[in-house]
Structure 1
Amino acid sequence: MLYPWKDEYSVGVSRFDNHHKKLFDIANQLHEMMKSGKGEDVIEPVLRELIDYTKYHLAEEEKTMERIGYSNITSHKRAHVIFTEQLNSAMVEIERGRTTFVVIKVAQTVIDWLIDHIFGIDKKYTAEMNAAGIS
């Protein structure tokens, strides 16, 4: 496993930790497929799953932040928009037939972004979510 989940990545909200773990799992699955030389016909659906699940996770986080009136929601949403735009660009590249290049880029980008986002942004919501009874 190239990108193992570490307890230090926990944001103190089990639902979102589980989402993050699933994203790590999908990215690792992509990496393993590429290492074993799987064809684009096998890799592309997993890449699409990674992108779709990432978008689902970001939307769920935002709904929860809105529900509790999270104080830093504007900048958090901005970070999500920027990342979603990167994912959308990746999908355009896939549709143009550049799957192998995009797989490498997206798998690494999602993990790097997740780790940076978890430590730099997500952990900021832990106290407010826990105070609202979400853990």
Structure 2
Amino acid sequence: MKVEWQEYLSTGVLEIDIQHKLLFEKYNAFLAAVEAERGPEEIGKLFWFLEAYTVTHFREEEEVMQRLGHTELPRHRMEHHDFVRKVLDFKERLKSEGPTPHLILTTTRFISTWLINHISVMDRAIGKTAASKTSGSLE
């Protein structure tokens, strides 16, 4: 369930797009470790890093939204919160169960689907807000 950056995912906000591409790289590194059957410790470290980077990215993305006056910030923040809560649950299960095939499949399906859906709808709306602010300030 590797995720590949596609142009349709671009928000048009450079710092957000760069972070999304890096987020995809971190997610794919986690997948590669799982597929190579690296030990639970290495898989756990990569998952921890993915989780930490996601939290950092969400905070920075929400700051951009606040600066832009993006009206969907409360809803967007709630989606971020729900994602982090679910990822924390996966992390705890990885610690207790280890990287079982079922847990890995459940985790990767959730993360890849969520990333693509969230970026293509919610995050692209940030780009629309940014574009309207830019075009509005030129008039």
TM-score (norm 1): 0.86
Deviations along 1:40-94, one digit per CA (max 9) or x if unpaired, are 1111110001111111111111111112221111111111111111112122223
Count residues in correspondence: 132
Question: In the alignment, residue 77 of structure 1 is paired with which amino acid?
Answer: R
Whether the 8 Å CA contact 2:5–2:24 is kept in 1: the answer is yes
Identity %: 24
Match of 2:98 in 1: 99
Structure 1: tracts of 5 or more residues without a match: none
Q: RMSD value over aligned CA atoms?
A: 1.9
Match of 1:27 in 2: 27
Structure 2: tracts of 5 or more residues without a match: 135-139
Cα distance change on mapping 1:19 and 1:99 into 2, 3 Å: farther
Whether the 8 Å CA contact 1:11–1:126 is kept in 2: the answer is yes
Cα distance change on mapping 1:26 and 1:5 into 2, 3 Å: same
Matches within 5 A, 1:38-117: 38-96=38-96, 98-101=97-100, 102-117=103-118
Whether the 8 Å CA contact 1:30–1:103 is kept in 2: the answer is no
Question: In the alignment, residue 38 of structure 2 is paired with which amino acid?
Answer: K
Larger Rg, first or second structure (1 or 2): 2
Distance 2:60 2:107 in 1: 21
Deviates more, 1:26-35 or 1:87-96: 87-96
Matches within 5 A, 1:2-21: 2-21=2-21
User: Secondary structure at 1:100's aligned position in 2?
Assistant: coil
Question: In the alignment, residue 9 of structure 1 is paired with which amino acid?
Answer: L
Cα distance change on mapping 1:103 and 1:50 into 2, 3 Å: farther
